[in-house]
Amino acid sequence: MTTSRESPGRRLMARIDEFAAFTDEPGKLTRLYLSDAHKRAVAQFIAWAQAIGLDARLDAAGNVVARYEGRDAGAPALLIGSHIDTVRDAGRYDGNLGALAALAVVEELAERGERLDVAVEIVAFGDEEGVRFPKTLTGSRALAGLIEEGALDQQDRDGVVMRDALQAFGGEPDRVGSERRQGIAGFVEVHIEQGPVLEAEGLPLGVVTAINGATRFDISVSGAAGHAGTVPMSLRRDALAAAAEMMLAIEARAGAEADLVATVGRIEAEPGAVNVIPGRVRFSLDVRAPRDEQRQRAVADIAATLGAIAAQRGVAVQLVKTHEAGAYVCDPNVVAGLTAAVEAVGAKPRLLPSGAGHDTMIMGQLCPAGMLFVRCKGGVSHNPLESITLEDCEIALAALTRFVRDFRA
Ligand code: GLV
Ligand code: MN
Ligand code: MN
């Protein structure tokens, strides 16, 4: 018997806290794809899944997959889960909430010995954030058979090749991308909203209608390094000053259109000394919009503007696309099922789009897919201050459980 002190939501919150200890940076939560902390987190996740009698394993790309059979062995599977990699200095709920909520739902079914028409598979994706390697969503792309050309040859900041890191992790690089999972009837992901809408409206849960598409670039600007004291301003080819102008142009372009966002999140200047004019700069660019055509137009405009700024300043600019994911409109049947589940647990289903990227946008290319959002404090995410309440956790778990029970392939 489950006592109120051991309610599923309370158990889930405790597990999320425990899981946050798997970090590559003491004092912060940083768990990058195929890192040591990721490996320890995977071992713990598999142990928890095995403890409830599941057949849990690491797949070729380093995702954890754990299957709970339906009434008939080999029945099509409903996949539920999210990612367990994090950004640097992350909050503990982004991704991890959805992966551990999936475990909690199946735990409840298993404890009751309840079998459904479908099998339920829990998935804990290894790379959704795309922080360690330039390409992103590697976990779901591999599962959906959509791995990109050259993905395994990418290097991280330290020159480690993904193929080698995956091999050392216990994955099977030669099999990644050669398989598209069969027998999958649907995918559902629980995730914190990462925005302020639900909190502003006093609602615990949201049902996602669509996910913004995104394009990312690695941009290099090459000028001429020189002496900070001797080269007159008119004769400089300062790569950092050029990059600064480019960033302001990017900000202005995105700000000129509703729903369009663009972010430069990382910058490195070389040689990086107080008395040297920067000769080379690299920065990242992330552009997102709800409509693919809108995003593509913005990307084309930004590329042209950066070229013009470079020409005017006598520097060279190069844009290398590292990631592209089209906007995804969530499956109408999954949206309807989630809406009904939210109503069934006594909450008002708020339909809303997602500005953040998610594994769902890739899984939607494999099977009908959708998402349930959970209110988070202040809408804050990608920040250690991320937080949700126990009450919201309980109701999210109840809604997901309801959805799973009512799901028909
Ligand atoms: C993932 O969190 C993303 O949207 O960048
Ligand atoms: Mn996430
Ligand atoms: Mn994230």
Q: What is the pLDDT of residues 290-319, one digit of tens each?
A: 999 999 999 999 999 999 999 999 999 999
C-alpha 265 – ligand 3 centre gap (Å): 14
Angstrom distance (rounded) from CA 185 to CA 75:
9
What is the reported pLDDT for 5? 52
What is the reported pLDDT for 16? 98
- Atom number in ligand 1 closest to CA 214: 4
Q: Which residues of the chain have pLDDT under 50?
A: 1-4
Quick one: 328 exposed, middle or buried, by C-beta within 10 A (0-12, 13-18, 19+)? Answer: buried
Neighbours of ion ligand 2 (CB under 5 A): 94-95
What is the reported pLDDT for 223? 98
Ligand nearest to the CA of 373: 2
Please tell me whether the overall predicted TM-score, pTM, comes out greater than 0.85 for this model. Answer: yes
C-alpha 194 – ligand 2 centre gap (Å): 9
What is the reported pLDDT for 177? 78
Structure tokens at 404: 């799973």
Residues in contact with 169: Cβ distance below 8 Å, sequence separation at least 6, in sequence order: 34, 38, 39, 62
C-alpha 358 – ligand 2 centre gap (Å): 6
